Amino acid sequence: MARRALITGITGQDGAYLAQFLLDKGYEVHGMVRRASTENFERIANLRDRLVLHQADLLDQLSIITLISEVRPQELYNLAAQSFVPTSWLQPLLTSEFTALGVTRVLEAIRLVDPTIRFFQASSSEMFGEAREEPQNERTPFWPRSPYGVAKAYGHWITVNYRESYGIFACSGIMFNHESPLRGKEFVTRKITDAVARIKLGRQDKLKLGNLDARRDWGYAGDFVRAMWLMLQQDKPDDYVVATGRQHTVREFCELAFSYVGLDWQEHVEIDPALFRPAEVNRLRGDATKARTVLGWEPTVTFEQLVRMMVDADLERVQAELAQEVSSGGS
Ligand code: NAP
Ligand code: G4F
């Protein structure tokens, strides 16, 4: 019989990649989606008829218990969260409800319905914040710098606690930034590649950005979902840093993305002080030695390949939009 997996946050970037990965492995894949007045299934449109979607919400304990009772998955991947750092200053309480307490709601449902379900929590390198050492590993202390980072630290520790208190097979993946053509356009990488495509094709001229000196360890989302799955296939549950070990500035991302299409980034990028954060995470770089040695996990996509992949995808999409406009204008 096919193994059954349940993914919260299946409509997000990682949800789409993980759903594809698990389907390819022969899983029966169920997804939790929250109710909206218009459906938001673009990222999983190509998989839609192979997935079973269920309405539930991280804010609603009973809906999660009912969902898990109905699906009875062997593996549960908790990817749902309010995941955009700037929004966490505007909506700190809602961010805590989704991103922190939401984890406890899912773990409580597992404890009540079936404590043998294997659980993955999407934790974040934002927990390291003003990091005490570089590179960061599983033992580096947390110093989160945003309400989002604080909420993720809670989610991490409650995962550890349910493992230690109840023996639940609960793993926390401490994931550094990972990107793809499916990344939300508000995150800096996709904001840049979308703008590069639009500028190249004459749809836009300027791109406003904040702190160009911030340094991140950027990997490819397709590689990261493989690490999530590997964690749940081990003999015992544990926590793992998932990262490439390479660090680049936002400025370097810009230079590479613009130069790839023959543009000079300095002619188009403007600094907008409103995009600077109340407290910044200046530099992150992960040490994924444990994931490499225990899980056998390795990233397969380099920073340069990632930038080119994202620019190419945005060029193709903007070109298709233009062609669509021309054909509907001509009809
Ligand atoms: P994303 O694209 O923002 O997706 C977030 C998902 O959560 C969406 O499917 C969203 O649904 C869902 N969601 C939000 N609030 C919900 C609620 N109240 N009830 C049910 N579903 C809700 O995020 P991502 O980049 O795929 O990241 C996946 C997870 O990994 C997140 O937990 C994120 O914090 C964490 N993480 C990401 C990174 C990264 O670099 N991508 C790094 C470290 C950790 P809607 O479509 O309805 O909005
Ligand atoms: O792309 P970002 O918004 O990602 P951030 O804040 O690192 O968070 C992402 O990665 C975390 C893992 O470390 C996840 F947990 C989280 O859910 C999310 O996926 O910003 C990256 C950097 C920041 O230092 C920011 O100040 O880019 C800088 N930046 C400069 N200009 C900008 C901009 N960020 C955004 N979003 N927009 C700008 O215009």
14, 31 in Cβ contact below 8 A? no
Q: Identify the residue whose tokens are 């094709």.
A: 201
Q: Which domains does the chain have, with CATH numbers?
A: 4-179+218-242 (3.40.50.720)
Ligand 2: distance of its center to the CA of 226 in Å? 23
Listed as own residue / partner, the contacts of 63-66 with beta carbons closer than 8 Å and 24 or more positions apart are: 64/32, 64/105, 64/106, 64/109, 65/108, 65/109, 65/112, 65/113
CA angle, 126 as apex, 123 and 128 as ends, to 5°? 100
Ligand 1: distance of its center to the CA of 318 in Å? 25
- Kindly report the average pLDDT of the chain as a whole number: 98
pLDDT one-digit tens code per residue, 249-299: 999 999 999 999 999 999 999 999 999 999 999 999 999 999 999 999 999
pLDDT one-digit tens code per residue, 157-210: 999 999 999 999 999 999 999 999 999 999 999 999 999 999 999 999 999 999
Ligand 2 binding pocket (C-beta < 6 A) is 83, 85, 124-126, 176-177, 186-189, 191, 209-211, 214, 216, 250, 275, 277, 280-281, 284
Residue nearest (by alpha carbon) to ligand 1 atom 4: 12
Residue 331 has pLDDT above 60, yes or no: no
Residue nearest (by alpha carbon) to ligand 2 atom 39: 209
For helices 102-113 and 147-166, angle between their N-to-C axes, nearest 10 degrees: 20
User: What Å distances lie between residue 114 and 37, 72, 75, 105, 167, CA to CA?
Assistant: 32, 8, 11, 14, 12
pLDDT one-digit tens code per residue, 23-53: 999 999 999 999 999 999 999 999 999 999 9
Phi, psi of 166 (to 5 degrees): -120, 0
Residue 319: the pLDDT is 97
Residue 218: the pLDDT is 98
Q: Extract the tokens encoding 214.
A: 């911030």
